[in-house]
């Protein structure tokens, strides 16, 4: 009797452990090794390859062998006829496939590629743009092609149903078992039935699981950036802040692997660009058409499983034929109207800007006295605003309030105003740069805002 009681207790414990293991399998997030573009729908990134800003859309497949489709949009016309090539190389085996597309002169052709993916794993997509003057722009986009896998709950669900089937069969084969086996029937049956019901329910409504399984590996620390200017480009090397090893685990955020804002200290020449990844942890941005000067550089990036971060530095650029620009003329603080070509930007605030209080900044875009039909989505938002204090110590990147849309194609929806909300930390003047897109053109409007105590 004593012995059978012990057996029952042991059986109960084993069953409890089995059930706990089932749930652990479900709940524990899988390790994430992927980086770059990851499977799941079409992904769009903006990148400056040499002198050419490109929009690259990649449809990352699941499983192999298969085909990967990529489309390349030139954001500005190529000089003369051009060619765009794609070479997809499997990082481990060096197996590759390549294609070349010619873009006739003066045409805004989208280059479409279908390359063979022979095995799962990380692939480097090397895009090369070459124009009629033999100027070249390159970018290497990493993509991770995962194994085709069953939905995440398949195995635990099968285990639960298996246990249920075993206990049911056993109770039919041995209807009058020994006392210790009775306990096994009862507990085994209850445990496997409950597991099967819970797992089955979550299997049918997978959104519950997606919530649990969101990869949140906050252990990845900050990256550091080493910036150097060579004869014609800014070279950026990223390193892991904790180990000093190259950091090459960026994922796209706001439709780019890296956003870069450059502001010249005297002329306040402003630039928002997307350096191209050209090698492991190395990014490059062509400076040929950038006026000489001393630039504050802010890099916004996101490492996988980690939040976004801003890395800052200063570079001296003297290699351009374009001389340094004259010091910026002083602008009158908001509320103000600024004109650029045929567009007028009316910038106002909804409340008096005060320290620590959220200030709403409204930007209305008007052409010939009429509101423009629509401000388009750019990098997933209707508008971006960069905030800086005059000393350059504060750097903020504010997105337009309201709905976000990550669709590649701008949504032609009425709306000629954008609003930004920001709480300024000190009573002083701040420099603002508002960026919106109208008719496919990105416009940058500088402004000054005075904040009171």
Which residues of this protein are in contact with Cu ion, per CB under 5 A? Answer: 259
Inter-residue contact 364 to 346 (CB < 8 Å): yes
Q: What's the closest the beta carbon of residue 273 comes to Cu ion, in angstroms? A: 7
* Helix (H) or strand (E) run with residue 2 in it: helix 2-27
Say which residues have a Cβ less than 8 Å from residue 6's Cβ, sequence separation at least 6. none
Triad 53, 58, 59: Cα angle to 5° = 165
Residue among 213 and 253 whose Cβ is closer to Cu ion: 253
Q: Tell me the sheet residues that pair with 55.
A: 46, 73
For residue 181, how many C-alpha atoms fall within 13 Å in the half-sphere facing its CB? Answer: 12
92 vs 234: CA distance, rounded Å: 29
Q: What's the closest the beta carbon of residue 378 comes to Cu ion, in angstroms? A: 9
Token pair, residue 330, equals 């002083």
Residue among 319 and 380 whose Cβ is closer to Cu ion: 380
Q: What's the closest the beta carbon of residue 260 comes to Cu ion, in angstroms? A: 7
Q: What's the closest the beta carbon of residue 250 comes to Cu ion, in angstroms? A: 13
Token pair, residue 367, equals 């052409």
Inter-residue contact 118 to 88 (CB < 8 Å): no
Residue among 187 and 259 whose Cβ is closer to Cu ion: 259
Q: What's the closest the beta carbon of residue 259 comes to Cu ion, in angstroms? A: 3
Q: What's the closest the beta carbon of residue 307 comes to Cu ion, in angstroms? A: 17
Q: What's the closest the beta carbon of residue 274 comes to Cu ion, in angstroms? A: 6
Smallest Cα–Cα separation from 301: which of 39, 47, 113, 9?
Answer: 47
Q: What's the closest the beta carbon of residue 256 comes to Cu ion, in angstroms? A: 5
Residue among 192 and 435 whose Cβ is closer to Cu ion: 435
Residue among 246 and 380 whose Cβ is closer to Cu ion: 380
Task: State the residue number with the nearest CB to Cu ion.
Answer: 259
Residue among 18 and 315 whose Cβ is closer to Cu ion: 315
Residue among 51 and 259 whose Cβ is closer to Cu ion: 259
Q: How many CB atoms lie within 10 A of CB 224?
A: 15
Inter-residue contact 206 to 157 (CB < 8 Å): no
Residues 38-60 as b/e (b if ≥16 CB within 10 A, e otherwise) read bbeeebbbbbbbbbbbbbbbbbb
The secondary structure of 237-294 as a DSSP string is EEEETTT-SB---B--BTTBSEEEEEEETTT--EEEE-BEEEETTEEEEE-TTS-SEE
Residue among 259 and 388 whose Cβ is closer to Cu ion: 259
Residue with tokens 């009681």: 5
């Amino acid at each position: 009797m004593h012995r059978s009681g012990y057996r029952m207790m042991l059986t109960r414990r084993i069953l409890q452990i089995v059930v706990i293991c089932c749930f652990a399998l479900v709940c524990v997030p899988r390790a994430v090794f992927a980086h770059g573009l990851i499977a799941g729908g079409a992904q769009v990134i903006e990148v400056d390859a040499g002198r050419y800003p490109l929009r690259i859309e990649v449809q990352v497949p699941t499983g192999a062998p298969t085909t990967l489709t990529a489309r390349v949009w030139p954001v500005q016309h190529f000089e003369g006829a051009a060619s765009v090539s794609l070479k997809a190389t499997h990082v481990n085996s060096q197996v590759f496939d390549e294609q070349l597309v010619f873009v006739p002169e003066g045409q805004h052709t989208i280059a479409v590629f279908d390359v063979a993916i022979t095995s799962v794993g990380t692939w480097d997509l090397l895009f090369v743009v070459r124009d009629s003057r033999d100027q070249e722009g390159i970018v290497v986009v990493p993509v991770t092609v995962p194994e085709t896998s069953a939905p995440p709950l398949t195995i635990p669900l099968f285990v639960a149903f298996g246990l249920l089937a075993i206990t049911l069969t056993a109770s039919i084969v041995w209807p009058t078992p020994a006392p210790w086996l009775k306990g096994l029937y009862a507990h085994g049956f209850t445990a496997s039935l409950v597991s099967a019901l819970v797992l089955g329910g979550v299997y049918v409504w997978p959104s519950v699981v997606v919530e649990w399984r969101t990869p949140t590996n906050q252990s990845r620390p900050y990256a550091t950036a080493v910036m150097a200017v060579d004869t014609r480009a800014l070279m950026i090397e990223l390193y892991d802040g904790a180990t000093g090893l190259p950091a090459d685990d960026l994922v796209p955020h706001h439709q780019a692997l890296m956003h870069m804002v450059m502001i010249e200290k005297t002329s306040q020449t402003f630039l928002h660009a997307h350096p191209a990844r050209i090698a492991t942890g190395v990014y490059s941005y062509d400076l040929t058409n950038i006026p000489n000067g001393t630039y504050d550089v802010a890099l916004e990036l996101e490492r996988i499983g980690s939040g976004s971060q801003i890395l800052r530095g200063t570079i001296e650029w003297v290699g351009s034929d374009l001389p340094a620009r004259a010091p910026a003329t002083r602008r009158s603080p908001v509320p103000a109207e600024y004109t650029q070509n045929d567009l007028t930007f009316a910038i106002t605030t909804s409340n008096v800007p005060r320290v620590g209080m959220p200030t709403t900044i409204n930007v209305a875009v008007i052409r010939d006295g009429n509101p423009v039909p629509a401000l388009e989505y750019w990098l997933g938002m209707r508008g971006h605003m960069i905030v800086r204090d005059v000393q350059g110590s504060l750097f903020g990147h504010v997105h337009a309030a309201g709905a976000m849309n990550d669709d590649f194609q701008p949504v032609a929806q009425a709306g000629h105003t954008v609003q930004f909300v920001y709480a300024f930390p000190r009573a002083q003047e701040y420099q603002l740069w508002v960026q919106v897109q109208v008719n496919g053109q990105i416009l940058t409007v500088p402004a000054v805002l005075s904040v009171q105590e």
